[in-house]
Amino acid sequence: MTTIPPGATIGILGSGQLGRMLGVAAAQIGYRIHVFAPESGPANDISSAFTRAGFHEADELAAFARACDVVTYEFENVPLAALSAIADKVPVRPGLKALEVAQVRHVEKAFVRDLGGRTAPFATVDSLDELVAALEIIGTPAILKTVSLGYDGKGQARIDDPAQAAEAWEAVKGQPSILEGFVTFSHEFSIILARAPDGSTTSYPPPWNQHRSGILHLSSIPAPAEIASQWTEAAALAGRVAEALDYVGVIALEFFATADGPVFNEMAPRVHNSGHWTIEGAETSQFENHIRAICGLPLGSTAPTALRVEMENLIGDDATRWADYLAEPGAHLHLYGKHEIRPGRKMGHVTRLER
């Protein structure tokens, strides 16, 4: 692959905070970014150009592609048709295959299972009758999730008793879904892996991820021993997934640490919330390594820069305490520039380093 040198323009599909942090990393090594999205968002504050248009607008997409030297995306729900429309005009990294797999939950789980990964028991359900039948096989407790879209606990319903089937089916609005059985685990963690065009990879130490109300609250390293002992196996699976997808960029796989080894939960074909600690906590952040990968530059070191690193998400009103975080020794505040605070909304994060 030909290296895309600094001074070039990187197109980003999506205008959220991940695009913003990608743009900051790109600017640090001399790239410009051009954001394409249906609405203005945090990424626009630091972009060189912005195209506000729908992902279905072919003429706008084509003009955007012509203005960019490479295109990436900051969220996994970009319509495949949008990528297909520009893939012959500009390099798109990661490619379409990653989205084809990640956008459909049962396809994703089967894909990872076929590569040797462990998954929770699951079944696709397209009707209430199918949900009732699946519950008889998988049992309860279980989680019903829509097969596409949904994140941070959205598009999901917990089922503790088969009698709750109709209520859960109504909660997901009768959309095609997947029923997942529960897994007994001690901790949740993730593997953040970067893969270059030549197939070389590097991964970060796995953070221990702690959630509140289905939203990531804390990610910290070093991880407890229960996670550290499963790092090698989980990272090897992430490498196989990236290779099978012919992936270029940063990919995240989430896992449960169980007595039988790591159990795959889900993947994100992009930079990931649980990797935000790497901005100050690693020699090369996940965002810079994504930019390096898609531009054909050498991947950077993923070694930690501190003995302990903790990233805390600032959800809703947490962000109003910005003065407290700024006054805290060893803390690094990141606010995303969102104009409206809402309950459950990620407004920023703070990273704490212990050296």
The CATH T-level fold of domain 9-92 is Rossmann fold (3.40.50)
Confidence of residue 189 (pLDDT cuts 50, 70, 90): very high
Confidence of residue 2 (pLDDT cuts 50, 70, 90): confident
Phi, psi of 122 (to 5 degrees): -150, 160
Is the whole model's pTM more than 0.85, yes or no?
yes
Taking Cα atoms as reference points, which of 77, 31, 36 lies closest to residue 57?
36
124 within 8 A of 178, measured Cβ to Cβ: yes
pLDDT per residue as tens digits for the range 192-221: 999 999 999 999 999 999 999 889 999 999
Residue 269 exposure: Cα atoms within 13 Å on the Cβ side: 28
pLDDT per residue as tens digits for the range 274-291: 999 999 999 999 999 999
- Give yes or no for residue 149 having a pLDDT over 80: no
pLDDT per residue as tens digits for the range 4-33: 999 999 999 999 999 999 999 999 999 999
Return the CATH number of the domain spanning residue range 121-181. 3.30.1490.20
Radius of gyration, alpha carbons of the chain: 20
Q: What is the pLDDT of residue 151?
A: 56
pLDDT per residue as tens digits for the range 156-175: 899 999 999 999 999 998 89
Cα dihedral sign, 236-185-305-18: positive
Return the CATH number of the domain spanning residue range 187-354. 3.30.470.20
Taking CA atoms, 139 is separated from 132, 135, 183, 186, 204, in Å, by: 10, 5, 12, 21, 36
pLDDT per residue as tens digits for the range 36-45: 999 999 999 9
* Domain assignments of the chain as residue spans, ordered by start: 9-92, 121-181, 187-354
pLDDT per residue as tens digits for the range 107-147: 999 999 999 999 999 999 999 999 999 999 999 999 999 98
Q: What is the C-alpha to C-alpha distance for residues 14 and 37, in angstroms, rounded to an integer?
A: 5
pLDDT per residue as tens digits for the range 75-117: 999 999 999 999 999 999 999 999 999 999 999 999 999 999 9
Those residues whose C-beta lies under 8 Å from the C-beta of residue 169, and which sit 6 or more positions away, are 128, 131, 144
User: Quick check: bond before 94 cis, omega within 30?
Assistant: yes
CA 343, 346, 347 angle in degrees (round to 5)? 95
167 within 8 A of 224, measured Cβ to Cβ: no
Confidence of residue 152 (pLDDT cuts 50, 70, 90): low
Q: Summarize the confidence of residues 220-246 as an average pLDDT.
A: 98
pLDDT per residue as tens digits for the range 32-71: 999 999 999 999 999 999 999 999 999 999 999 999 999 9
Total residue length of the chain: 355
Q: What is the pLDDT of residue 156?
A: 86
| CA terminus-to-terminus distance, the chain | 39
CA 67, 69, 74 angle in degrees (round to 5)? 90
Q: What is the mean pLDDT of the chain?
A: 95
Number of helices and strands in the chain (H, E): 12, 18
For residue 61, the one-letter residue type is L
Q: What is the pLDDT of residue 4?
A: 97
